[in-house]
Structure 1
Amino acid sequence: MSAIGDTCHVVPVVRTLQRAFPQAQLTWVIGMIEAQLIGDLDGVEFVIVDKSRGWRGFFDLKKALRNQRFDVLLHMHPSMRANVLSMAIKANRRVGFDHARAREGQRWFVNEQVISATKQHATDAYFCFAQLLGVDEQALCWNIPLSNQHQQFAKNHCRNDKPLVIVHPCSSQRQRNFRNWPTECFARVADHAVSHHDAEIIITGGATDFEQHYANEICCLSSHNPINLVGKTTLKQLLALIEQASVVISPDSAPVHMATAVNTPVIGLYASSNPERTGPYLSQQWTVNKFPEAAEKFLGASENQIRLGRRVHDPSV
């Protein structure tokens, strides 16, 4: 899988397969960053791929799996990189997405496809792979391990007498990605949470210069001095913090789905992407969904007229 959010979507599918086939050996080919979060799931063998190595990563994977042949390959990420890596995996059944969702030529790298579905959340789309294997009963659980040290880190930053609100203001940085809410809006929401709910505010994020600047600006604009942990947590520490939180406020980003994994409510902020596909799976009722308006304004179509998964790439969104 190529992103933290995607791996969070897949974990309950893994739990479903473990329950349905308790004797099965499950192997997960995963990126280095994603493995930092879920690489210690019980009952799963992880083969870690360094995506920065390019073709050398392909040969690393081929070498690691050279003596193995699998009954089934679940090719769950339709991208050219994943397609290429899949060629290093020997399997009798090679299952991918249906024609409509098999992007970047995925259908040429598989010999079976899941049943077509037009409107599905990403988590439900991944559950289609279990259904193709005859498993209809879903195990909607994650159980991502957290050590005592991770949990203690979270407790050290929480006050038991106050509700904890985690503000994760930035999504991953990529070309033409306009998911982030203005800093002044986050500051106003943080101040409201403190003044009206006596909440403690923690701002989280990665270590990029952009995220550091974004968080610093929110802190400067806020009247109540949020705790700034941007660039100061590992993924496990962040998950432990989220588990302690009363709510997470975030645009379409990994912590939305990490919060789902630990059953923490999410207020998702969505305009450039459709939360019906990538929103917080268990918190849709609290999601701020401006995607229909953005689609009408910038794409000239209703959300029902465009492909699920299409994004709005306009800076003013």
Structure 2
Amino acid sequence: MIHAESSQCAIPQTLQGAHVTDARPKTCGDLLPLHGCTGRIGVFRALHLGDMLCAVPALRALRTASPGAHVTVIGLPWARELIARYRHYVDDFLAFPGHPQLPESDAGYDAYERFREAFPKDFDWLIQLHGDGRVTNAIVGQWPARRMAGFVGAGMRYGRYFLPYPSGHEIDRLLALVRHLAGDGPADLEFPLHIEDFARLKGTAPFADLFDAPYVVVHPGSRDPRRRLAPGFFAEVVAWLASKVRVVLTGGREEWDRNAHIARNTSRVINAAGMTSLADLGALVARARCIVTNDSGPAHLAAAVGTPSLVAVSASDPVRWAPKNTLHHRVLDARGGVADDRFLCMVRDLYEETGRAMC
């Protein structure tokens, strides 16, 4: 069962009856309780690509503050491939099947209960880095650990290791919790790529000769349909770009038909929907002249690899999710799904500016 450390250090009410104990974590101080920690730390964030990339600065800051700790990311199964690229920050990955109260997967209670029953018993700390804690604190609090930390929403009781959920950019929010526990760090995104990633992509049809000349990546889709601009806006953009340069349309396998519809009246377009792994997508974006995308995972990937971008924001909050580097990344505020002539005008400006940068 979870036990409050003291009346001055009460845990959130939502955690009552969970499995965190009072035992002292290994060599962790009190002012910054995770600074210099050498124990086992579990970090829970069970989300998708863009959300996970936004957590990399927090993981980096945690590793910098506690180089001797054993850090495990607890996330959705797909993220194992992503986290494997950050072995300099993360030691292990634990696949979380999902939970019926979390929308990111369709896992039922049976799958979750099997996960909970098999959960490792030797974590010194569990950090809830998934949201404001209204749902996730109760979930993470069911797993055995000596201590727990995380965010709490407005009106929730919390103790010294919990932080009221801050406003601002998602990267800064997550860094705020690590700053509270261990220490600060820079907000820059990163996505490590290796020579073999580019070689593998170049050896895969239809990308064999793609790197021989400039190209532009366009990502018209998004996991959340509310974040997708109408295909007509992208069709106009793709037609204009294809008159200048090769265009690669990316997306999941389920987006192939949509991409084909967008590119139906153009040539010099590769419909790569469903054809790229995460590493392929990273290499493809990294070598691109620029990328035009909805607010989705590739937008954050572009920020991580330094490729100039135009991000169309249809439903999300730009303050929270737009790229932080406004010199290399532009944002079209299309909330409500309306992009009008601004979209094509901004694409033209981006294309021309990146052309000058290549000269």
Q: Is 1:14 paired with 2:59?
A: yes
Residue segments in structure 1 that go unaligned for 5+ positions in a row: 295-317
In the alignment, what sits opposite 2:108?
54
CA contact (8 A) 1:61 1:88 kept: no
Q: 1:264 aligns with which of 301, 307, 310?
A: 307
- CA shift digits 1:231-274 (9 cap, x unpaired): 11122221221111121211111111122222222210013222
Give the C-alpha shift of residue 98 in structure 1: 4.0
The code of the aligned residue for 2:81 comes to Q
Match of 2:202 among 155, 161, 165: 155
Closer, same or farther: CA 181–15 of 1 in aligned 2, 3 Å: same
Give the aligned partner of residue 332 of structure 2: 288
Partner of 1:70: 124
> What secondary structure, in the 3-state scheme, does the structure 2 residue paired with 1:151 have?
helix
Query: SS of 1:286's equivalent?
Result: strand
Question: How far apart are the structure 1 equivalents of 2:227 and 2:66?
Answer: 39
- Contact residue 249 and residue 271 of structure 2 kept, 8 A: yes
1:29 — aligned with what? 74
Which residues of structure 2 form unaligned runs of 5+? Answer: 1-45, 99-105, 339-359
- CA drift of 1:160 comes to 3.7
SS of the equivalent of 2:80 reads helix
CA distance in 2, matches of 1:139, 1:288: 22
Q: Is the 8 A contact 2:76 2:95 kept in 1?
A: yes
Q: Distance in 2 between matches of 1:199 and 1:189?
A: 12
Cα distance between partner residues in 1 of 2:234 and 2:337: 21
Q: Deviations over 1:50-90 (max 9, x none)?
A: 23442233334334433213234234334776445413433
TM-score of the superposed pair, with normalisation by structure 2: 0.69
Paired with 1:109 and 1:152, the residues of 2 have a C-alpha distance of: 50
Q: Equivalent of 1:199, from 237, 240, 245? A: 245
Equivalent residue letter for 2:257: H
Q: 1:232 aligns with which of 275, 278, 289?
A: 275
Match of 2:218 among 167, 176, 184: 167
Distance in structure 2 (CA, Å) of the matches to 1:58 and 1:290: 38
* C-alpha deviation, 1:225, in angstroms: 3.6
Q: Which amino acid aligns with 1:165?
A: V
Opposite residue 117 of structure 1, the aligned amino acid is P
1:133–1:292 Cα change, 3 Å: farther
Partner SS state of residue 224, structure 1: coil
Deviation string for 1:184-215 (max 9, x for gaps)? 321221232233xx32200010111xx22210
Distance 1:114 1:81, change over 3 A: closer
Aligned to 1:95: 149
Distance 1:212 1:191, change over 3 A: same
Secondary structure at the aligned position of 2:291 is classed as strand
User: Structure 1-normalised TM-score?
Assistant: 0.77
Cα offset, 1:164, TM superposition: 1.9
**Residue of structure 2 in register with 1:114 after alignment:** 163
CA–CA distance in structure 2, aligned partners of residues 53 and 292 of structure 1: 31
Normalized per residue, which structure has more helix?
Answer: 1
* Residues 19-38 of structure 1: per-residue CA shift (max 9 Å, x gap): 22111111110101222323
Q: Which letter does structure 1 place at the counterpart of 2:273?
A: V
- Using the TM superposition, give the Cα deviation of residue 224 of structure 1 relative to its aligned residue in structure 2, in angstroms: 2.5
- CA offsets, 1:112-158, max 9 Å, x none? 3325533x11111111111111412326343435571x322333525
- Give how far 1:14 is off: 0.7
- Could you tell which deviates more after superposition, 22-31 or 232-241? 232-241
Q: Quickly say closer, same or farther: Cα 1:81–1:45, change in 2 above 3 A.
A: farther
CA RMSD in angstroms, aligned pairs only: 2.9
Q: Is 2:61–2:184's contact at 8 Å kept on the other side of the alignment?
A: no
The letter of the residue matching 1:247 is C
CA distance in 1, matches of 2:227, 2:126: 36
